[in-house]
Structure 1
Amino acid sequence: AAYGNCGSRAVVLGMSKILFATDLGDAGESAFSFLLPLADALRAKIWLLHVEHIPATEIQVSGGMLEEVMQHRHKAALEGLYQLKMEIAEYAFQNNTIIESDHILSSGLVAEEIVHAADNLHPDFIVVGAGMNKGFPAFISGDIATTLIKKSHTTLLIVPQKEELPSKGKIVFATGWDKGDDLVIQQLAAYARQLQEELVVLHIDQSDAEKTNALRDYMQTNFASEMEHGKVALVISSNEDITEGIAAYVRNNGVRILAAGHHHHRFELFHRHIAAGLAHAVDVPLMVFQV
């Protein structure tokens, strides 16, 4: 992988970082626009990543021809990355702020290169754009998203391709209240404070009183003050279909980001397929935490 101006030396532990993986095409435009105010509010450095994918058919091309093609792609990709960096600088100038940025240009299998970059950089999360006008379905069922959700240890933010995405709204965490969800709530509470948004912890009750009561107790013990002042809310709803219950809440409540956990250790439908299920049901940015 080829790093930008500062190279890997720019990696500083403890510094907020967001990795934006882009194909430099239309699919990433909505994600990029959504990312800028997010990075500003979170005081995060943006790492731009573009992967030059080499299809197997092109490997058959004679060495000299392939090298020429790759040189052309490399030049075009660098120009695209520098253009994005200029747009970041322009946004920062217009909003009287500072957003640091750098880039990585690599070649190989896209999902694997994204995972590799995330493992090296340790970003707060990865941002990717959905590839179809309808939002998630075509993208989420593809190899890239599937691989990222299954193999990456990093939180993933998937942004649908829409002309307008909410710049304000609730941060909603859909939880089945399982191991690790408390840490996700703490992280999202920190994001919500920085974004000056309300955090809603949404639990779809399926007649499991023990879990519901445990979640209530946790929230009251840890977020009583925030709940009293309207900064954090616990919403418990009943629906036989968990995904539809979450989607119904999202449709009716002005959501900026929907978050969910991908539980590697669980086997129920809710935990194994929540990302894909929600991706088909909602058209707001979806943040998937690896739990």
Structure 2
Amino acid sequence: MKRILFPTDFSEIADNAFLYALKMADSLEAEIILLHTFDMPIIDGAEIPINFKEMYDTLEIQQMSHFKDYIPHLKQIAEKNGMGHIQMSHLLKSGDLTYAMQDVVQEHNINLVVMGTSGVSGWFDSLFGSQTGEAITSLTAPVLSIPIEAKYKKIKTIAFTNLYREKDFEALQRLVEIALKFGATIKSLYVKKSFTSLSDEDIKAWEERCSAWPVQFFVIPHDDVKETIQDFINNQHIDLLTMLTEKRGFWEDLFTSSLTQKISYKIEIPMLALHENGL
């Protein structure tokens, strides 16, 4: 059975994302592992207090109590939406959320991470300026981030940002499996910048490889990738934006023609960050 990791801080943002986690679990026949992390108090001085273990145990008990009180609320959300059958378990860990998620992803062979985000002020911030961005670039599992503005609706149209590399083909192949489970169509977008070396013949050959898949291909000539993707989301009524994750430097080159650029783009739909392996 596939496993979905859902980190929660008991907030409205997390609750909003939980419905997406349930829908993904239902479609992928997966179980959900709930994760809550808590911070230990900062100890001043070089010596650890004699009663440190007692302090830790007390805090852990308190946090676990809060967690257990919150679980019926999540189960109520599941039952209200006809998904009370989804299997759920819970984990409590101390320390940094990203490190905790890294451990859980490895230990429990997580296939997908679903997490809420408060919304982003820009494309660059969405990838690197938040805990969600940190998770996207550091975890080995795909990350589905849900902005607070994204109220659940059926996923009918999925956008895939395509650079026509072999690893993009493999990522698209995995995305097709997800799309088929949702009965969704994929719209592949390639923003063709003026200096690109990709030929029309390369694009046509690529499309022929995918002819049996529910994929439509769009090639839009433009040097502003951010603006083009945002317009594509709006004009094509996209429900889910998907991209293959890369190292930080790649995204800097792709999305920031100028780091002082004042234009702000908000993502108000879920974003799925795929890795070269996963799902």
The answer, yes or no, to whether TM exceeds 0.5 is yes
Counterpart check, 1:220 vs 2:208: yes
For 1:102-157, what per-residue CA distance to the aligned partner results, in whole angstroms no more than 9, with x for missing partners?
A: 22222221110011111122222101100359798877555522431232111111
Aligned to 1:269: 252
For the residues of structure 2 that align with 1:150 and 1:211, how far apart are their CA atoms? 30
Equivalent position of 1:145 in the other structure: 132
Q: Are the structure 2 counterparts of residues 138 and 254 from structure 1 closer, same or farther at C-alpha, using a change threshold of 3 Å?
A: same
Could you tell me which residue of structure 2 aligns to residue 85 of structure 1? 75
* Greater mean alpha carbon deviation, residues 72-81 or residues 187-196: 72-81
* TM-aligned CA distance change 1:55 to 1:157, over 3 Å: farther
Deviation at 1:92, TM superposition (A): 3.4
Q: Secondary structure at the match of 1:49?
A: strand
1:23 CA displacement: 1.1
Determine whether 1:23 maps to 2:23. no
Match of 2:32 in 1: 46
Deviation at 1:101?
1.9
Deviation at 1:35, TM superposition (A): 2.4
| Alignment partners' CA distance in 2, 1:205 and 1:138 | 23
Give yes or no for contact 1:169–1:198 (8 Å, CA) kept in 2.
yes
AA of the residue aligned to 2:161: A
Could you tell me whether the CA contact under 8 Å between 2:243 and 2:272 is conserved in 1? yes
Which sections of structure 2, spanning at least 5 residues, go unmatched?
Answer: none
Could you say which residue in structure 2 is the equivalent of 1:9? none
* TM-align CA RMSD: 3.2
Letter in 2 for 1:290: H
**8 Å Cα contact 1:261-1:271 kept in structure 2:** no
1:113 is the counterpart of 2:100 = yes
Cα distance in structure 2, aligned partners of 1:31 and 1:166: 12
Contact 2:121–2:266, Cα closer than 8 Å, also in 1 = no
Pick one of 223, 226, 229 that aligns with 1:243.
226
Q: Contact conserved, 1:20 with 1:47, CA < 8 A, in 2?
A: yes
1:210 paired residue number: 198
Identity fraction in percent:
18
Q: Is the 8 A contact 1:130 1:136 kept in 2?
A: no
Structure 2 CA distance for aligned equivalents of residues 289 and 163 of structure 1: 19
1:38 aligned partner, one-letter code: M
For normalisation by structure 2, the TM-score amounts to 0.81
Label 1:105 to 1:135 Cα distance change in 2 as closer, same or farther (>3 A). farther
Ranked by relative contact order (alpha carbons within 8 Å, sequence separation 6 or more), the top structure is 2
Q: What is the count of residue pairs matched by the alignment?
A: 265
C-alpha contact 2:225 2:254 (8 A) present in aligned 1: no
The correspondence of residues 171-186 of structure 1 with structure 2, limited to 5 A, is 171-186=158-173
Amino acid of the residue matched to residue 272 of structure 2? M
Query: Which shifted more, 132-141 or 197-206?
Result: 132-141
